Structure 1
Amino acid sequence: MSAIVIAGLDFAWPDGSFVFGGLDTVLGAGRTGLVGVNGSGKSTLLRLIAGELTPAAGTISVTGRLGYLPQNLVLDARRRVDEVLGIVDVRAAIAAIEAGDTDERHFAVVGDRWDVEERTRATLDQLGLGHVSVTRHVGELSGGEVVLLGLAAQILREPDVLLLDEPTNNLDQRARGLVYETVRSWKGVLVIVSHDRELLRLVDRIGDLREGEIAYYGGNIDDYEAALAAEQEAAERALRAAESDVRRQKRELIEAQTKLARRRRYGQKMFDQKREPKVRMRKRAEDAEIAAGKYRNLHIDRLDQAMDRLKAAEDGVRQDDEIRVDLPATAVPQEREVLRLSEVELRNGALADLDVRGPERIALVGDNGAGKTTLLRTVLGDLPPVAGEVTLHVPARWLPQRLDVLDDELSAVDNVARAAPSASNNTIRARLARFLLRGTRADQLAGTLSGGERFRATLATLLLAEPAPQLLLLDEPTNNLDLASVRQLGQSLAAYSGALVVASHDLPFLRTIGVTRWLRLDGRLTEIDPCESSRPRL
């Protein structure tokens, strides 16, 4: 049986940042979804397994052939497709043999791969790349096609163990569906790092990576969240019981100390009145002091034990705080015109007519390369339209895919101050606290923040900007966010009272933010009806 066995794994980055200390785990047959907050070490663990990183201590043993698709796949644009697929030598050897060259080296290269052409075409067809010639260059492919090509290369290697790191990022819905089918039919060991709920619904178990340890939950993401909710409910009950026990033990300790003080005063009074011989009274006082010490220590021990139970109960309750947003200045009255696109032609040739009114929430969907980002940048004025007119009636801000809104050399406080120059330092700090950036974290340089912190700082900078944005344009906002950050983004958008245009392939996320209109960009911007089926044909 193929498996990944990890024993005593230690790993830290050169700056001393701890990731793993003595990790022991086994990843066996079936599909495992690996989740955890940004910065918890999910991608790092896959890189360690793949051999891209070297552990400081411990062992990683992989039984069987290993395949690995990294999160940000970068391929040389000059390489040919057959090079990426790893079939150049086999194809050349077969061609030489067919031309009459019987050199044994050619047969050694081919081995049992005489059907390489058929297998390659079948794999490319399976991933929607049937139209791609193996002699084309990578630079001729779209970003989504490059990801699918990378997956095809791994499948052709016939690995027993496959590691996928955010395989659906930046893929349109059609391409995502092809990845889903590949995952659904996988028979070996498969480990997936992803925040894609649809993908995580296909796994057999969830591995929750937290503070350098992995806890496993049977079932898919829905089963995991149900189990986690029940687990947290029990942990919170235990916390409340532990808090009550600590209060009771503190009361009993105070009562014991009061009782001992009363006895001490009574004994001193008896000694002063000399009602008994001094030797007997001194012996009685010594016995009383010993008994009092034991009595006091008993209650102190009970309090210490109660405090230990409280600490254990607190550790069992996750502190995944929620973002709190209250931004009345972003509100847009019903029916007020927010944005109008009149016979606009985008740079890629797509056409768009659009009228946005009031606090509408618009989902913008379409295939990779359809021009969704181009449309958003045209609305903002970053790209002039080829033809037509764009009229923006309210202040607008946008969240780009790369979250590069922040100046990495400034703190979160200074980034917000730059966007909201009239706000006082105290006001900015109070507002950042609502985005879970408090104290020293708010003063850290943006370039040193974790992924989740950087996301929240970016969101705060956008939403707290002056003038208050009454239109938000979001471009694939859930890419590279962990599940907690996706939930926090949903909370923020639920509290936002302005208009929204969200370009995304993440259908579960779009369904959670109260979308009022679904628009598809496919040569022309058209409105679609998501109620035609249980799952929109996007």
Structure 2
Amino acid sequence: MAQSSFAPSQAHSQPPAATSFINLHHVSYALPDGRVLLDAVSHDFGVARHGLIGRNGAGKSMLLRILQGSLSPQSGRVARHGRTAYVAQTHTHEPGATLAEVAGIGDILLALSNIEAGSTNQTDFDLADGHWRIQDDWARMLDDAGLPAWAPDHPARAASGGELTRVALAGALLQAADGLLLDEPSNHLDARARGWLMEKISAWRGGLIVVSHDRTLLNAMQHIVELDRGTLGGHAGNYSAYRTQRDLQAAAADAALAHARNERAAGLRALRQQHDAQQQRSARNARQARASNQAPILLGMKKANAEGHAGRERLRRLQTAATLDEAVKHAAARVLATPGVALALPETVVPGGRRVLHLESAVPPHPTKAQALTLSLSGPFRLAVHGPNGCGKSTLLSMLAGELHAIQGTCDVRVPTAMLDQRAADLPLDQSLLATLQALGASLPEGELRSRLALLGLGPALIDAPAETLSGGERVKATLACALWRKHPAQLLLLDEPTNHLDITSAEALEDALSAYPGAMVVVSHDTMFLEAIAPTHRLLWNDDAGWELQACAM
């Protein structure tokens, strides 16, 4: 069944409102294992563009389904205002499904066909209302999205994943809905298709909620909503504004924590000094009492008074120390959670004069647009490969990895390589990540491996379980760990859309790690912020007439 659907108003729907799109009222939802994704959440989504962000596994896609109505909350209610079109992240469909079904307009086309055949059924007229020229709109939609002039009954299986995404998105726009719910809409889209998507989203004037880790797309939003540990937090402005505010809050929280720790240290020093002074006074008073020849009963009373005072002072010091500790705990709780997703990369230095790869009139084995390629690069270069879907970018990476062989010419790579793609296809799914690393001859002790993997965001429950249980983003991180911590670390990284399944925190950690990577890399990515962060030294650009063209980047 196609996962692009038209969701009319549900039980809590109301007539379209000028300022309200969807409202959550004390909504809760937990997984069967007890993990809480939504904890009595209340939030108003106005008629504006909202970017929904959060770490992988936080529950963003499930929240989107709750907002759409295909998944019911376990408590609370959802109020939807007007009609909503929903486009899922993946496009699963029955054998024989058509593009019209993927676009979510199959029922509309069927209703029009029934009316043309003489139907007087009111349901058909309700579905067709406002869509009498949908065939013409369909043709314009395909052309606008850069797609072939397919008929609505064109089989979905004949289209690529990126093409199905564009069909689903364009179909959602055709439905004249009051609001759109989009789950990772820019995944699998090339630069041209992303430009089309950005244009449509920027022009959208209805309600819009987009789950995305695409920071360029998130910068087109008017609000950022973060799902974190069962709660929703709203931020006015786009993603850059959110990051600026978050960084300011983080800096203020860090400063407050440092101040609280300094205050505690000073307070504890003062308490120790008071304790030492009290001990000295007590000892001095005891000596003076013994030398005074006072009556034993009087000495006993003074001793009891002194011990009582000492006890009260000890209790006061304990209470003061507890207050100082509580202040530090309170300040620490306000520090923004930034789980360690840092990558500790090994030394994989490639000397500046060392030849890394050489292609001489190399022709790829698969029928793509690509022409024969001659290319020679040395040292720790960073090559970004740009071109439309279907021009042979992934095939080029597979040739460099040795997975495919040129049918003409030569492809010579002279350093150890590792492929890191969005599918993490090289990761054995039937064994644990820890076992895979050990099988690859990782020289690190198991304890250090576990520590590094924990910094990568892969805890014991993940690294000891079969890799098939990992999420897409977790598999990407696991594959990178295998590439860099094996016996012979890679000196050439081949990256094929590495951020596609990473949450923003992990993508930014990957950027930080790769920025410090001393080896060479070839990168295929449509993530403009990711490419900017890794600072390419060269670009390989596809030209429909001339084929591949190499350009050096200004430093």
Measure, in 2, the Cα distance between the counterparts of 1:105 and 1:229: 53
2:441 and 2:486 in contact (8 A); partners too: yes
After superposition, where does 1:14-413 map in structure 2 within 5 Å? 14-76=32-94, 78-95=96-113, 97-98=115-116, 107=125, 109-129=127-147, 131-266=149-284, 268-269=286-287, 276=294, 284-317=302-335, 318-321=337-340, 323-349=342-368, 350-353=370-373, 354-413=375-434
Matches of 2:303 and 2:405, distance apart in 1: 95
Distance 2:170 2:233 in 1: 31
Higher relative contact order (CA 8 A, sep 6+): 1
Closer/same/farther in 2, CA of residues 522 and 463 from structure 1, 3 Å limit: farther
Q: Secondary structure at the match of 1:417?
A: helix
Letter in 2 for 1:176: R
Superimposed CA distance per residue, residues 58-97 of structure 1 (whole angstroms, 9 cap, x where no aligned partner): 2222222222211122233522223334444544554555
Partners in 1 of 2:58 and 2:82 — Cα distance? 27
State the 1:434 CA deviation.
6.2
User: Which amino acid counterpart does residue 347 of structure 1 have in structure 2?
Assistant: H
Change (3 A) 1:101 1:159: closer
Structure 1 residues 275, 452: CA separation in 2 closer, same or farther (over 3 Å shift)? farther
User: Which moved further from structure 2: 169-178 or 514-523?
Assistant: 514-523
Runs (5+) with no aligned partner, structure 2 = 1-16
Q: Distance in 2 between matches of 1:530 and 1:189?
A: 43
State the Cα deviation string for residues 491-532 of structure 1 (Å, max 9, x = none): 222222222111111122112212122113466641265979
Contact 2:343 2:452 in 1 (8 A): no
Q: Secondary structure at the match of 1:312?
A: helix
Whether contact under 8 Å (1:416, 1:465) holds in the other structure is yes
- Shift in Å, 1:320: 3.9
Aligned to 2:31: 13
Residue by residue over 1:237-275, the C-alpha shift from the partner in whole angstroms, topping out at 9 and shown as x without a partner, is 101101011112222332333344344445555665675
Q: Any idea what SS the aligned residue of 1:16 has? A: coil
The answer (yes or no) to whether the contact 1:164–1:192 under 8 Å persists in 2 is yes
Q: Which amino acid aligns with 1:526?
A: W
Tell me the alpha carbon deviations over residues 255-310 of structure 1, each in whole angstroms, 9 at most, x when there is no partner: 33334434444555566567555665555555544444443333322222221221
Quote how far apart the aligned CAs of 1:184 are.
Answer: 0.4
| Aligned amino acid, residue 117 of structure 1 | Q
Are residues 294 and 348 of structure 1, via their aligned partners in 2, closer, same or farther at CA, if it must alter by over 3 Å? Answer: same
Q: How far, CA to CA, are the matches of 1:59 and 1:407 in structure 2? A: 42
User: Partners in 1 of 2:454 and 2:101 — Cα distance?
Assistant: 51
Letter in 1 for 2:363: V
Residue identity in the other structure for 1:344 = V
Shift of the 327–296 alpha-carbon distance from structure 1 to 2, 3 Å rule, reads: same
> What is the SS of the residue equivalent to 2:151?
coil
What SS does the aligned partner of 1:351 have? Answer: coil
CA distance in 2, matches of 1:530, 1:222: 29
Equivalent position SS for 1:151: helix
SS in 2 for 1:456: helix
2:484 pairs with 1:460: no
Amino acid at match of 1:352: A
When the two chains are superposed, the root-mean-square deviation of aligned CA atoms in Å is 3.1
Contact 1:340 1:356 in 2 (8 A): no
Aligned to 2:5: none
Q: CA deviation at 1:112?
A: 4.4
Residues 51, 331 of structure 1: alpha-carbon distance in 2 compared, 3 angstrom cutoff: same
Corresponding residue pairs, total: 532
Write the letter of the residue equivalent to 2:548.
T
Pairwise CA distance, 1:373:
1.6
8 Å contact 2:362–2:407 — kept in the other structure?
Answer: no
Please tell me the residue identity of whatever aligns with 2:401. Answer: L
Check 1:439–1:256 CA distance in 2 against 1; reply closer, same or farther (3 A cut).
farther
2:70 is aligned with what amino acid? E
Tell me the amino acid that sits aligned with residue 508 of structure 1: M
Alpha-carbon distance change, 43 to 519 in structure 1, aligned in 2, over 3 angstroms = same
Structure 2 CA distance for partners of 1:145 and 1:301, relative to 1, 3 Å: same
Residue in structure 2 matched with residue 536 of structure 1 by the alignment: none
Residue 243 of structure 1 aligns to which amino acid in structure 2? R
Compared with structure 1, are the counterparts of its residues 40 and 137 closer, same or farther at alpha carbon in structure 2 (3 Å cutoff)?
Answer: same
Distance across 2 between alignment mates of 1:305 and 1:14: 40
Amino acid at match of 2:529: P
Closer/same/farther in 2, CA of residues 259 and 105 from structure 1, 3 Å limit: closer
Residue 149 of structure 1: SS of its match in structure 2? helix
Q: What is the Cα deviation at residue 31 of structure 1? A: 1.0
Q: 1:347 to 1:408 in 2, by over 3 A?
A: closer
Instruction: Evaluate the alpha carbon distance shift between residue 305 and residue 114 of structure 1 in structure 2; reply closer, same or farther with a 3 A threshold.
Output: same
TM-score norm. by structure 2 comes to 0.86
| One-letter code aligned to 1:316 | R
**SS of the counterpart of 1:229?**
helix
Superposition deviation, residue 4 in structure 1 = 2.1
Cα distance in structure 2, aligned partners of 1:435 and 1:331: 24
Q: Post-superposition shift, 1:129? A: 3.7
TM-score by length of 1: 0.88
Measured in 1, the distance between the counterparts of 2:129 and 2:462 equals 58
CA shift in 2, pair 1:91/1:415, >3 Å:
closer
Q: Does the 8 A contact of 2:355 with 2:414 survive in 1?
A: no
Counterparts of 1:346 and 1:261, CA distance in 2: 86
Distance 1:404-1:57 versus aligned 2 partners, 3 A rule? farther
Question: Which 10-residue stretch deviates more, 233-242 or 334-343?
Answer: 334-343
* 3-state SS in 2 of match to 1:328: coil
SS of residue in 2 equivalent to 1:159:
coil
